[in-house]
Amino acid sequence: MNAKPPRLAEIILTSFITDKRMADSVLGDLAEEWQERTSRRGRVAVRIWYWRQCVRSAPYLVVEWWRSASAGEIARKVSSSLVVFGLVGLACLYAHLASIAMADFIIGMLSASSEGGDPLVKNWDWIARLAVVQSTGWGLLGGFGLALVVRNARMVGVVLLASLWFPATAMLMAVLPAQWPAWALIAFPVLLAGASIVGGLAATSLRGLFSKRYDSAGNP
Amino acid sequence: MFYSVEYMGRPTLGDKLELIALSSVANLQTQAYGSEIRRHVNSLRGYDYSVGAIYTTLSRLEKKGFVVSEMTEPLPVRGGRSRRLFRITGLGEESLREAQALAQRVWNIGLGVPS
């Protein structure tokens, strides 16, 4: 039976904690309980318990960071998230413009062979689909890049970035054309936020897996 | 006016979880570290709190000056990590007593007991 808790879960949980002492205590407590549980329960059940603990702890750690961080820390974290938000936003805008061009081209080809239907409605649906797919890719890259750049509690910054997509999309509703499909308005922030978090988790995991596991004394 | 001036600027217990965690630290004495506190709180509340919920609460209590903590030597059973032992302070004990007195007053009012 594996005596060590899942490394990936440890890496992800640590990426939500700024204080090294707290990270040590949290991981130590989980490791201790992991040992106790593995002697009583099956390996799968204990792994599920461990992951569940990590997932359920993350929101508390983000809220606590927000409550206790100094103004400087908040400014640094928010500004790095805002820079990535701006870059991804610009990329999404270009993605949107590229989608319009691509959709025009595809619809032009399709309308030559198809019969009936309103080409304008088809056109906007295509544009929305293409824009959403491309923006998801940009969101993924944004989360990945932010988690690579930020050092301390990198997933807190990624969560900030993900949450920025919701008010941004709400503001977009005012300028988007009336033909823009309703499903895309919901899909945009959800996919962008989800992709940012997935990208952030991927970068965090990659960084963590290539680094060694250290104990409280700093020994690998 | 029913404002209590003496409490202004002094830290107070924020929510039920803070109160229960503080009473657990007081109750567990030398064994008050994360896992034990979590077990104690869970048994008192009948709810499975995550390790993050407990540690963030303990961290707030420490910032308010209700508890102090110290790290032990690294332990093999914890994957070479230290335990963080918590201890209640005088201010913490005072806050617990105040919370008890308040609960007693509220209880008495509810039961119509003359004060």
The encoded tokens of residue A73 equal 């820390």
The encoded tokens of residue A146 equal 């932010």
Are A193 and A169 found together in one domain? yes
Q: Which of chain A's residues have a Cβ under 8 Å away from the Cβ of B59? A: 19, 22, 64, 68
Q: Integer distance in angstroms from the first to the last C-alpha of chain B?
A: 21
A26 touches chain B (CB under 8 A): yes
Give me the domain span that covers residue A15: 7-68
Q: Looking at chain A, which residue has its C-alpha nearest residue B57?
A: A64
> Do residues A161 and A143 touch, judged by C-beta distance below 8 A?
yes
Are A158 and A197 found together in one domain? yes
Are A193 and A134 found together in one domain? yes
Which among A56, A25, A32, A45 has a CA at the least distance from the CA of B48? A56
Is residue A138 assigned to a domain? yes
> Do residues A51 and A39 touch, judged by C-beta distance below 8 A?
no
d(CA A136, CA A138): 5
Per-position b or e across A93-130, b if 16+ CB within 10 A of its CB: eebbeebbebbeeebeeeeeeeeeeeeeebbbbbbbbb
Note the pLDDT tens digit of each residue in A176-205. 777 778 888 888 889 999 999 999 999 999
CA distance A144 to chain B (A): 24
Find the helix packing angle between A20-40 and A7-14, rounded to 10°: 150
Are A154 and A85 found together in one domain? yes
Whether residue B38 and residue A22 make contact (CB cut-off 8 A), yes or no, is: no
Domains held by chain A: number: 2
In a 10 Å sphere around its CB, with 0-12 CB exposed, 13-18 middle and 19+ buried, how is residue A78 labelled?
middle
Whether residue B79 and residue A5 make contact (CB cut-off 8 A), yes or no, is: yes
Predicted pLDDT at A21:
84
Are A188 and A89 found together in one domain? yes
d(CA A32, CA A4): 10
Whether residue B38 and residue A29 make contact (CB cut-off 8 A), yes or no, is: yes
Predicted pLDDT at B8:
53
Domain's final residue, options A68, A87, A104? A68
Which of B53, B71, B77 lies closest to A21 in CB terms?
A: B71
Are A48 and A97 found together in one domain? no
To the question of domain B13-111 being in CATH 3.90.1150.10, the answer is no
Predicted pLDDT at A108:
72
Predicted pLDDT at A178:
76
Q: Which of chain B's residues have a Cβ under 8 Å away from the Cβ of A59? A: 52
Is residue A31 assigned to a domain? yes
Which among A138, A121, A115 has a CA at the least distance from the CA of A194? A138
Distances (CA, A) of B72 to A24, A106, B79: 11, 67, 14
Are A100 and A192 found together in one domain? yes
Write phi, then psi, for B4 (nearest 5 degrees).
-100, 105
Is residue A215 assigned to a domain? no
Which of B35, B59, B60 lies closest to A32 in CB terms?
A: B35
> In chain B, which residues have pLDDT < 50?
1-7
Which of B53, B63, B75 lies closest to A57 in CB terms?
A: B53
Is residue A188 assigned to a domain? yes
A27 touches chain B (CB under 8 A): yes
Is residue A218 assigned to a domain? no
The encoded tokens of residue B93 equal 């004990």
Domain's final residue, options A24, A53, A68? A68
Are A169 and A123 found together in one domain? yes
Which of A30, A64, A217 lies closest to B59 in CB terms?
A: A64
Are A59 and A86 found together in one domain? no
ipTM for this model: 0.80
Predicted pLDDT at A117:
55
Per-residue H/E/C for B35-101: HHHHHHHHHHHCCCCCHHHHHHHHHHHHHHCCEEEEECCCEHHHCCECCEEEEECHHHHHHHHHHHH
Whether residue B82 and residue A25 make contact (CB cut-off 8 A), yes or no, is: yes
> In chain A, which residues have pLDDT < 70?
1-3, 103, 107, 110-123, 212-220
Are A194 and A85 found together in one domain? yes
Whether residue A56 and residue B50 make contact (CB cut-off 8 A), yes or no, is: yes
